Structure formats: structure tokens, C-alpha cells
Amino acid sequence: MFESLSEKLNKTFKKLSGQGRLTERNIEDALKEVRLSLLEADVNYKVVKQFIDDIRTRAIGQEVLDSLTPGQQVIKIVNEALVRLMGGSQQELVFKGKPPYKIMLVGLQGSGKTTTAAKLALFLCKQGRSPYLVPADIYRPAAIEQLHKLGAQLQIPVFPSRAQQTPEEICAEALAKANALNMDVLIIDTAGRLHIDEELMAELVRIKTKIGPNEILLTADAMTGQDAVNVARQFNQLLDISGVILTKMEGDARGGAALSMKAIADKPIKFIGVGEKSDALEPFFPDRMASRILGMGDMLSLIEKAQSEFDEKEALKLEKKLRQREFDLSDFQTQLKQIKKIGSLESILGMLPGMGQLKELKKLKPQETELKKVEAIIYSMTPGERRNYKAINGSRRKRIARGSGTTVQDVNRLLKSFAQMKKMMEQFSKKGFQNMPALFH
């Protein structure tokens, strides 16, 4: 989402390199470009003005530290200002008092409330909680059925709402049912409209009064830019929301909503939706997002993703095979699956420091299809061929190509690449594996 903004900011910072002191002149020149970049990224103009004033106050006349270039010093100042702008620190869900805790999801129609409710339930399951989904949208066709279907897919219980009930009745009965079932979090999917109206808000206020939610989270579509910020402000005025979930953050919008939300609505972004999969909901960390915007990567998020999908038994098995030089194409396929669980190549490399600005990253989307091709080729091999790739002669290569829907050239490329990788691993193993356990644990 922040690709264009990142590129422009990095060009601005490069112009400052080679100067021994941050002077008023070079800071002002840089600030003009930063200001323009933020406005083009659809950041609210009042927020941009405050942001630029903040940086100017901190930067003008400041001596460059011995260990930093002027460009790096400005990046440090801008990074700190971005973190403050987006809320300073991560804001977690508040669970106070006696369970079940109640979370109301509110927002306009089409913002992704229903799918976000299911994603949030899955996130809480991973935290050791027992969520109960409540479909309280009796107006949108198939809204209740949609949440039941998502709940069944994720094996998360859903309250059996009936369209004949009022939303307040549904929520009250669901709360009693959650108590009886010892569920500790109630996640309520409320109705939305195409725009904010009195009828919608009156209904949400009645639900709020009836159940006294611990959290009222606005689900807002990041792709709508400043409209999302305006919606947040209006919902906050009427309901006093406790936070925001920004959906569709993986899209190609300009990102202004994420940068403006906290300053304008004065409510923290608590989660961001980063894809269509059920696990594509992440806590929002202002410092990590600032780091990614400035092309500095997000290693902490990458490590957490890897750890959540990490299979320790597979890692130990792989370590043993590498020690004994028995790494084969089946093992290679297993590793590809592990990588795919973490995310796309583009998203993984985007979290590595400095990688986000590489133009080569834009070419990675077609390479995702190459990974699928590699998997198809390996699936078309016999177990014996996977164990001993050298046995794959010309006629076998033709059969594998036919079976995988690829070409003989594709098969040849894979076998050549695997042979080179295996050779490199064997050379590494000759030098000793004293550091290998650290790589796998």
C-alpha cells in the first residue's frame, strides 16, 4: 500500500546525503518534498501540516551524529514522527471485568465486518481465548448464513440468530448462551449501511446500551482513503468507539487513511486486514509500519509470522538430513510449503530491511506462479525419483513434464537448480554444522 510513498521519501532522503550538517535550507527543501509526498498519499492536509511542523522543530540546526549521515538523521527524525502520528505504541484489546467480554464490530456496508469478525475470532483462538460469533445483521441478505459458514470453516461456534429477532434480542440471548457455554469473548457482527443514517446509529446505540461492550471497533476500508477517516470521526462522535480495524491494507491505495486515522479520529488502529485468508488479520504496530514506510523493513513481524507457522519436528528432520547429506526433492517441496505459509515472496521480502525499495520486487508476482510450477513438477515424480534426481533420464523428464502440465525445459531448470543447491549444502556441511542448530531453533 505504501510503495509509492516509500519510493518518494527515499528519493528525498538520498538528496541529503553527503552534507555535513542539517541546515535550515536543506531541511526546508526536504520538507517540501516530504509534504508533497504525504499529500499525494492522501494524508489529511491538517495532519500533514502538523507532521511537517513537528519534524522542522526537531531537525533544524541539529548536529549530525558522528555515526550517521544527514540523510540517516532525517530518516530517524521522520521515523519517530511517523510513529507518534500513528499512535506511538500498539494498543491491545481491553479485557476488563467479568467474562464474557463483548466486542462490537461496527461500520458501513462493504467494509468487511463479517469476514473481519471471523478473522478476529481466529486471532483470539490463537491467544487461548474461546470466542463466540454473533450475527446481528438481520438486514443484509445472507449475512447470518455467511457468518455461520465462516464459523464452520474455522470451527468457531456461532450463535443461531433468527432474522425475525431484533438485533438487541439477538445480542442479549447470545450473551446468555455464551455464559452457559463458558465462552469468554462475544464478537458481534452488526448491520451496516451504504452511508451513516439515524436509523443505523439508533440501532447501534440500543445494542451498546443493552450489552455494555468492552470494545466498539470500527471496521473501515483503507482503500477508501480519507472517506474512511471521516467515517471513523462520525462513528466516534455517536458511539465513542474504542478503536479501528483497517481492512484491505494489502491493496494498492495510497495509505493516507492509516496515517491520518489516529490524528483526526483520536482513536487507535488496533488491527489491520492484510489479505483474504482467515489468518490475514494482524495487530497494528505504529513503529513497525513506520519502519516499512521508510524502507527499513519489518523483521519483527517476519519473525513472528515464521514462528507462528514453524514446524519444529520438520526442522529437526531437515537438520538431520542435511548432516547426513540426504536432502532430496521431497524435502525441498516441504520447505517450499513452509515458506508459502508465511506469505507471498513479495510480502516476505518487503519485510526485509532495504528490500522494499528494490525494483526487482515488482517482478516477483509472476514468480509466485513459478513456485506452483515447481510444486507440480515434484508432484509428478515417483517417490524414487524424488529421492534420487540423477535417475531422471530423458524419457522420465518428458513424462514428468506431461504430468505437471509444464515443459521439459522447466523440468531441466528445476533439476539443475536443485543440483546446485544440494552441492552448496554439501559444501557447507563439510565445514561443520556447529552453527546449524541456531538456524533451526
Residue pLDDT, tens place only, 240-250: 999 999 888 77
Backbone angles phi and psi of 96, in degrees to 5: -120, 150
Decide if pLDDT at 104 tops 90. yes
Of residues 402 and 34, more confidently modeled: 402
Domain segments of the chain: what residues? 3-85, 101-296, 304-440
pTM greater than 0.75? no
Decide if pLDDT at 221 tops 90. no
Span 351-378, average pLDDT: 60
How far, rounded to the nearest angstrom, does the alpha carbon of residue 436 sit from its chain's CA centroid?
A: 30
Write down the pLDDT at residue 188.
93
The answer to whether the Cα torsion of 425, 427, 432, 435 is positive or negative is negative
As a whole number, the mean pLDDT across the chain is 78
Cα 364-275-128 angle, rounded to 5 deg: 125
Q: Where are the alpha helices (DSSP H) in 212-276?
A: 226-239, 256-265
| C-alpha distance across the termini of the chain, in Å | 32
Q: Output DSSP code: residue 183.
A: -
Q: How far apart are CA 31 and CA 29, in angstroms?
A: 6
Ramachandran region, residue 328 (left: φ > 0; alpha: ψ -120 to 50; beta: rest): beta
Q: How far apart are CA 389 and CA 398, in angstroms?
A: 14
C-alpha cell, 64: 549530525
Q: Is 203 in contact with 236 (CB distance < 8 Å)?
A: no
Q: Which of 29-38, 91-100, 193-202, 247-256 has the lowest mean pLDDT?
A: 247-256
The Cβ-side half-sphere exposure at 144, using a 13 Å CA radius, reads 13
Q: How far apart are CA 262 and CA 434, in angstroms?
A: 48
Q: Where are the alpha helices (DSSP H) in 63-135?
A: 70-85, 113-126
Query: CB count, 10 Å around CB of 107?
Result: 27
Of residues 271 and 29, more confidently modeled: 271
Q: How far apart are CA 132 and CA 116, in angstroms?
A: 14
Q: How far apart are CA 99 and CA 109, in angstroms?
A: 29
Q: What is the CATH number of domain 101-296?
A: 3.40.50.300
Of 3-17, 31-45, 365-379, 414-428, give the range with the top mean pLDDT. 31-45
pLDDT tens profile 122-156: 999 988 899 999 999 888 878 889 999 999 999 99
Q: What is the CATH number of domain 3-85?
A: 1.20.120.140
Q: Is 283 in contact with 244 (CB distance < 8 Å)?
A: no
Q: Is 355 in contact with 361 (CB distance < 8 Å)?
A: yes
The answer to whether the Cα torsion of 339, 343, 345, 351 is positive or negative is negative
Q: How many residues does the chain have?
A: 441
Query: CB count, 10 Å around CB of 270?
Result: 22
The structural architecture, per CATH, of the domain 304-440 is: Orthogonal Bundle (1.10)
Q: Which of 109-118, 309-318, 330-339 has the lowest mean pLDDT?
A: 309-318
Q: Output DSSP code: residue 406.
A: -
- Band of the pLDDT at 19, cuts 50, 70, 90? low
